[in-house]
A and B are shown apart, each in its own frame.
Chain A
Amino acid sequence: MTDYNFAYLDEQTKRMIRRAILKGLAIPGYQVPFASREMPMPYGWGTGGVQVSAAVLTPEDRFKVIDQGADDTTNAVSIRKFFEHTAGVATTTKTAEATVIQTRHRIPEADLGEGQILVYQVPIPEPLRFLEPRESETRKMHSLEEYGLMHVKLYEDISRHGHIATAYAYPVKVEARYVMDPSPIPKFDNPKLSNSPAIQLFGAGREQRIYALPPYTRVTSLDFEDHPFDPSKADHPCGLCAAEDSYLDEVIVDDAGGRMFVCSDTDFCEARQNAGHKGKDAA
């Protein structure tokens, strides 16, 4: 792969993406259209995140990729290898040691710090998309700050089910202006979006949009006074590291209904196990 430029994309393309990122950082939560390129992996498999990562990576960076919170899921492996080959950057699975973290569907459990960049892969950047399929309409709704439809949807959920029936990709409002899709992270992760010291960048390749949250941006999950936002998770401790406060995957372990709950963030879980924490299912 030595024939390709550092981090695969040519410098002009990276410049174009960086401009979109800077615009996104200047208008937190606003979806900036950008001329997304065809990447050597399919649309929908993280091409937006990959292009954003390619544009922000420098040779000194240490790169971490997670999918579903795990470093060893196949697509995370594939994207990590892509940048090992095309950028030759150091990689890590340790959240604290990474300078750039590309993620799909999770925010790491460990607090991020200043100087870190979290890059989200975004399938559908438009939080209003399933209420209004037309891009021309939704852009108008954002510019007019016309979010009534979203509140009506959430209200209808409550009147029908007693709860807001959105468990992931739960919409947020950024600095009291733009309603933003946080990508399909579980709503458990939503509070971590707010006031983070890290830079958070969102890339949607197929939909050709980039948006961003600069450090210490106020991000609130949409809710109602009498139905406050509830970042729920499975009500269990991790079976391997006994953590009570991490997001858990449910794993089916036999065909008799047996299951266990384990941290979805593999780095977090391993670090805890190494520190001597032991869950009830640990060997």
Chain B
Amino acid sequence: MYVAVKGGERAIENAHAWLAEERRGDTSVMELSVPQIREQLALAVNRVMAEGSLYDPDLAALAIKQSRGDLIEAIFLIRAYRTTLPRFGASQPIDTANMTCDRRVSATFKDVPGGQILGPTFDYTHRLLDFKLAADGEVAQAPQREAAQAKVPHVTGFLNREGLIEEAPHDDTTPRDLTREPLEMPADRALRLQALARADEGFTLSMAYSTQRGYARNHAFVGELRIGDVVVEMDIPELGFAIDIGEITVTECETVNQFKGSKTEPPQFTRGYGLVFGQTERKAISMALVDRALRWEELGEDYVGAPAQDAEFVLYHSDNIQATGFLEHIKLPHYVDFQSELELVRKLRRDAGATPKQEANE
């Protein structure tokens, strides 16, 4: 005899209690603190801030703790929190030329004014498990020296002096706001960059990689990759001038892409651009490659049908919170739809002359 399934409410409460217990893990092991996550899992924190579109390392660390290290879940927590925050206004555009660089490399020139600064990078580390870390994570202090100069000019600026790279004219148009307006096509570059800045790192990486493997190849060089702190300024109407409201760390990538010219444009180098919160260079480089691929139309290139050229495809599928929600919703009950499909398939089979295996006893 079938008893109608009741008690969904209690089941949910119990599941949540169990989840909390699992999150904590073995209580004989010391609990992880939010500052520990913020300081020692900083790259995870950066990703959560970038894709969560909220610059707050403490909240991102909390979200990682709460989500048991599931970064998409953490990003989701941040997004859901972010959307409830009041908006006081918009900052002025950050000036990345005035960045205090921790890292700044150019792959296009051996040396550039401002120098190549490797900074804290995994590049050139040998990926050998460091078993010493399992026992003792203490490190000696890294050598230090004074930063050479305050203002580090952009590498693409040097190319621009020769007219070798496309102009990036100054534009004061207020961009559309992805978080306050529905995403509608066609999307201009500002909107595309906005979407890419919060796009899933894995998706963006794969899209960028696909361009490298020939799906709309655009011959990208990393003109410059820089990571460091920039000042955020905001106009305060009551004061009549802009004041610093804080500093954020960002990663900026400018790619220089070979371009043989098109019907409308002369041969010159073209640009791809990536800007992401925190030290997130894989994402920033990926973003720049995808940005460049999406610019085929304005540069008069051919549409070769590559996924990375298709703004509608890229932008509608790049958001991991949308994607994971819809993907995981198929766990929800679908008895009703399934029942109607069952009836349909039975009817179609009857019509097709299929004999039922065995009449089920009802």
Instruction: Tell me, yes or no, whether B142 is within 8 Å of chain A by CB.
Output: no
Instruction: Tell me the complex Cα distance, A82–B75, Å.
Output: 21
Contact between A10 and B8, CB atoms less than 8 A apart: no
Q: Which residues of B contact A131 (CB under 8 A)?
A: none
Instruction: Tell me the complex Cα distance, A185–B7, Å.
Output: 25
Contact partner of B342 (CB less than 8 A), chosen from A74, A161, A250, A262, is: A250
Contact partner of A206 (CB less than 8 A), chosen from B82, B326, B335, B361, is: B326
Chain A stretch 222-266: residues in CB contact (< 8 A) with chain B: 232-234, 236, 239-240, 247-251, 253, 256-262, 264, 266
Instruction: Tell me, yes or no, whether A57 is within 8 Å of chain B by CB.
Output: no
Instruction: Tell me the complex Cα distance, A263–B193, Å.
Output: 50
Q: Which residues of A contact B5 (CB under 8 A)?
A: 72
Contact partner of B336 (CB less than 8 A), chosen from A36, A106, A236, is: A106
Q: Which residues of B contact A266 (CB under 8 A)?
A: 4
Chain B stretch 268-302: residues in CB contact (< 8 A) with chain A: none
Instruction: Tell me, yes or no, whether A155 is within 8 Å of chain B by CB.
Output: no
Closest to B186 in A: A136
Instruction: Tell me the complex Cα distance, A240–B2, Å.
Output: 9
Instruction: Tell me the complex Cα distance, A99–B306, Å.
Output: 50
Interface stretch, picked from B143-151, B227-235, B316-324, is B316-324
User: When each residue 183-225 of chain B gets 1 if its CB lies under 8 Å from chain A and 0 otherwise, what string results?
Assistant: 1111000000000000000000000000000000000000000
Instruction: Tell me the complex Cα distance, A209–B322, Å.
Output: 14
Contact partner of B337 (CB less than 8 A), chosen from A73, A161, A165, A167, is: A167
Instruction: Tell me, yes or no, whether A40 is within 8 Å of chain B by CB.
Output: yes
Given contacts A42-B328, A72-B8, contact A260 B2 (CB under 8 A): yes
Chain A stretch 112-163: residues in CB contact (< 8 A) with chain B: 123, 134-136, 161-163
Instruction: Tell me the complex Cα distance, A262–B2, Å.
Output: 10
Contact partner of B361 (CB less than 8 A), chosen from A42, A81, A169, A256, is: A256
Given contacts A4-B84, A42-B76, A68-B335, contact A186 B340 (CB under 8 A): yes
Contact partner of A184 (CB less than 8 A), chosen from B80, B324, B337, B362, is: B337
Instruction: Tell me the complex Cα distance, A258–B7, Å.
Output: 24
Q: Which residues of A contact B11 (CB under 8 A)?
A: 74
Contact between A187 and B326, CB atoms less than 8 A apart: no
Q: Which residues of B contact A123 (CB under 8 A)?
A: 326, 329
Closest to B76 in A: A42
Instruction: Tell me, yes or no, whether A64 is within 8 Å of chain B by CB.
Output: no
Instruction: Tell me, yes or no, whether A283 is within 8 Å of chain B by CB.
Output: yes
Q: Which residues of B contact A257 (CB under 8 A)?
A: 358, 360-361
Contact between A81 and B80, CB atoms less than 8 A apart: no
Contact between A38 and B79, CB atoms less than 8 A apart: yes
Q: Which residues of B contact A220 (CB under 8 A)?
A: none
Contact between A47 and B326, CB atoms less than 8 A apart: no
Instruction: Tell me, yes or no, whether A37 is within 8 Å of chain B by CB.
Output: yes
Closest to A104 in B: B332
Instruction: Tell me, yes or no, whether B56 is within 8 Å of chain A by CB.
Output: no
Instruction: Tell me the complex Cα distance, A4–B84, Å.
Output: 8
Instruction: Tell me, yes or no, whether B166 is within 8 Å of chain A by CB.
Output: no
User: When each residue 313-355 of chain B gets 1 if its CB lies under 8 Å from chain A and 0 otherwise, what string results?
Assistant: 0001000011011111100111111011111100110010000
Sorted from nearest, which 8 A-B pairs have the closest CB atoms? A43-B325, A44-B329, A42-B325, A167-B340, A257-B360, A44-B326, A33-B182, A208-B182
Known A-B contacts: A77-B12, A247-B339. Give 14 more (CB < 8 A).
Answer: A38-B83, A43-B329, A44-B327, A47-B325, A136-B186, A167-B341, A184-B336, A186-B339, A188-B340, A209-B182, A249-B335, A250-B339, A259-B362, A264-B336
A residues adjacent to B (C-beta < 8 A): 4, 8, 10, 33-40, 42-45, 47, 67-69, 72-78, 81, 104-106, 123, 134-136, 161-163, 165, 167-169, 184-188, 206, 208-209, 232-234, 236, 239-240, 247-251, 253, 256-262, 264, 266, 281, 283
Interchain Cβ contacts under 8 Å between A and B, 18 examples: A35-B180, A37-B83, A38-B79, A39-B80, A44-B326, A134-B312, A165-B344, A167-B341, A184-B336, A186-B336, A240-B4, A247-B336, A248-B339, A251-B2, A259-B360, A261-B362, A266-B4, A283-B1
